[in-house]
Chain A
Amino acid sequence: MHNLFIKRFATICSAVAIVASLAACGSSNQSANTIGFWDPYPQKNASSTWEAFVKRCAPEGYKIKRTGYPQSDLLNNLTTAVKAGNAPQIALIDNPKMPTAVDAGLVTDIKAAGINTKGYDSNIEAPGIIDHVQYGISYGSNALGLYYNPKILEKAGVDPASIKDWASLNKAIEQVVASGSKGITFAGISGEEGTFQFLPWFWGAEGDLKHPKSQAETDALNLVSDWVRKGWAPKSVSTDNQSAAWDAFLTDQYGFSENGSWQAESAKEKGYGMIPIPGKSGGVAPVPTGGEFITIPTQKKADKDLSKATAKVINCLVDGDNLKKTNDEMVYLAAKRSVRNQQVQENQIWAPWVKPIEQAKGRTSDIGLKYEDVSAQLSEDLQEALNQR
């Protein structure tokens, strides 16, 4: 009788224990010699050269546990991880999100951690410096340009060198459309990706993010929405992201595509050319810098040895020859002139990208945390403009 009671009690307890342990198992994946490493490159899997490259940077006695999250989820995941006290030792954060990450106290002073921050280009590093404190290192950047399809331009009798400002660009697109091809693809999707693609037009019209509601915004919105209204750009631009815009361009039906330097290899294969995005009344429009910051997230428990090992990993990723390797992996141009020159020497496809990257502006450099609201406003306005019938 008694025995049975105990047996039953034990069953109940174990049932409760199973449920309780299920609930608890989410939080204990840290050990003293593991360096957590989060990046927004989920396409790089466990057998990728990137993963091997990162893991080789682990100091003696430590191992690196790399996790790739989608760009849009990484900061949210980091937010909950910092709160729960199980943040990774290293996280790569998209540059426009740096002010938000700093404001929420998610990342720490990187110089204080013993990282050498000298010699990097200031336009690329600016988004990571907030109130004179540097919270991360950006190892490189991509940039936006205007790709063109030489065959289609030739058929339409358009010389890409003649495109110097918006008027000549519009004329070129018009000629392309008149010759029976389609005009231009770009990404107008709601959110940061669409804003990223809109900024060169906004800045090219002398727009200032401190005063987004301006004639410059109206001009830039009219430019891109007219393309849709006239049928020069597909109606799907308001939901197209940059890969969708590129896929459309790859069909060889379009004359132009606004897209990123990460497509340079693909463009070379297809024989496409690239010109810098023109400003409204001439010159080259500034493009936003695109790339991630290597940061050290806030830890609940300080561990001196682990912090030292973390700093070693970061230095390894950006020191000497490795800075080039890191950039080659991500198809970025390095944030140091000497390394960039080396990249161009090795691969000529980079040559036309050097200038746009050197003239690129950080999205948050001027207005910091306010960029989040400004970007949202621009995105709303862009959606409205692109959806005009």
Chain B
Amino acid sequence: MSFNIHPLQDSDGSIRNSKKRGIHSTTLAAWGFAMPLIVYLAVFYVTPLIQNIFMSLHRFTRRTFVTGDAPWSGIQVYQEVLGNPKFWTILVQTLLFVVLSIIFQYSLGLALAVFFNQNFRLSAVLRGAFLVPWLLPPMISGTIWQWMMDADTGVINKVIGFFGGSPIWWLQADHSLWSVIIANIWLGIPFNMVILYSGLQNINQDLYEAASLDGCNYWQRFWKITFPLLKPVTMITLLLGFVYTLKTVDIIWIMTKGTGTSRTLATWAYEMAFGKGTSATIRYSEASVVGTILIAIALIFAFAYLRAQGSERSKQ
């Protein structure tokens, strides 16, 4: 084994020599191997991030973007965005979208994972069927949801009508947030189910056996064994779900174009950055400010996760 780690040894056979000079060249080799990754991260991650912050601190319009002489504006654009009452409305909508999506995605995903973990006949086939929302391109699932939620001809209203209810104008401005949340929950269940299912498979079956010998019922086994042992997997699922949901544009855009209450920080930034939505005016700086705020929110949760993980480790 060690032969492979220090290939210098087999090249000139002198161990002493290689030890003396090996520190230098193995460090260099390590850097060499890391280099492609470092360059990749620098080009594709760090540069856009810096560019984003740079643009949020200058006043960019389409013209100044081309000429390259966007004036320095410091935190002025931040003040404008934060001072805009629209921002706070959209922030609340975003948080509702994210929190409700995650709560339901997680709990329904967990319920399905526990259900499929019993490994009954056909469970593998059914589990596969539940992955469909994940495999469909959002373009397609978004269009299908839009079609199903159509106020006049949608199948959901037909079903409601069949049971005697009055039709709902799903995509109307005041309701559109709830409609996109429903679609997004459906979209996120398979992801939660798959990760939680693999977490469940790592739980030692002996624990359940011991618990039932001690007279635990099903709920006690779930809350005293499954749930606590699933905590590390739960945390990473929630963190990933949080980030995915926070940056969701596609499903919302296809269903409502981010109009009415369904406008989130992510769709708002998209609108401003590319002149989509109601206004064709490009607002690079404002979009960058919202982008930076989104990154900050995601980072806060990432650090919260790392802390929680750290305290989990120190407990063990």
B278 adjacent to chain A (CB < 8 Å): yes
State which residues 143-158 of B face A: CB under 8 Å: 146, 150-153
Residues 221-248 of A, flagged 1 when their CB comes within 8 A of B and 0 if not, give 0000000000000111011000000000
With beta carbons under 8 angstroms apart, the residue of B28, B65, B68, B260 that contacts A387 is B260
With beta carbons under 8 angstroms apart, the residue of B32, B63, B256, B280 that contacts A239 is B256
Selected A-B contacts with CB under 8 Å, 17 pairs: A1-B8, A8-B28, A15-B32, A82-B66, A83-B66, A103-B62, A104-B62, A104-B65, A105-B63, A235-B152, A239-B257, A239-B259, A373-B279, A376-B281, A383-B260, A384-B173, A387-B259
Q: Which residues of A contact B256 (CB under 8 A)?
A: 239
Q: Provide the bound-state CA to CA distance between A339 and B16, in Å.
A: 91
Q: Which residues of B contact A235 (CB under 8 A)?
A: 150-152, 169, 171-172
Contact B281 A387 (CB under 8 A): no
With beta carbons under 8 angstroms apart, the residue of B63, B171, B257, B280 that contacts A104 is B63
With beta carbons under 8 angstroms apart, the residue of B29, B259, B280 that contacts A100 is B280
Q: Provide the bound-state CA to CA distance between A233 and B145, in Å.
A: 21
Q: Which residues of A contact B12 (CB under 8 A)?
A: 1
With beta carbons under 8 angstroms apart, the residue of B28, B169, B277 that contacts A190 is B277
B282 adjacent to chain A (CB < 8 Å): yes
Q: Which residues of A contact B202 (CB under 8 A)?
A: none
Q: Which 5 A-B pairs have the closest CB atoms?
A: A376-B279, A12-B32, A235-B151, A387-B173, A379-B278
A32 adjacent to chain B (CB < 8 Å): no
A23 adjacent to chain B (CB < 8 Å): yes
Contact A19 B36 (CB under 8 A): yes
Contact B29 A189 (CB under 8 A): no
Residues 82-101 of A, flagged 1 when their CB comes within 8 A of B and 0 if not, give 11000000000000110010
Q: Provide the bound-state CA to CA distance between A23 and B41, in Å.
A: 12
Contact B35 A376 (CB under 8 A): no
B40 adjacent to chain A (CB < 8 Å): yes
Q: Provide the bound-state CA to CA distance between A12 and B63, in Å.
A: 41
Most B CB within 10 A of own CB, among A1, A4, A103, A384: A1
CB distance from A85 to the nearest CB of B (A): 11
A192 adjacent to chain B (CB < 8 Å): yes
With beta carbons under 8 angstroms apart, the residue of A1, A4, A383 that contacts B173 is A383
B308 adjacent to chain A (CB < 8 Å): no
Residues 75-86 of A, flagged 1 when their CB comes within 8 A of B and 0 if not, give 110010011000
Contact B278 A190 (CB under 8 A): yes
A372 adjacent to chain B (CB < 8 Å): yes
Residues 38-81 of A, flagged 1 when their CB comes within 8 A of B and 0 if not, give 00000000000000000000000000000000001101100100
A106 adjacent to chain B (CB < 8 Å): yes
B111 adjacent to chain A (CB < 8 Å): no
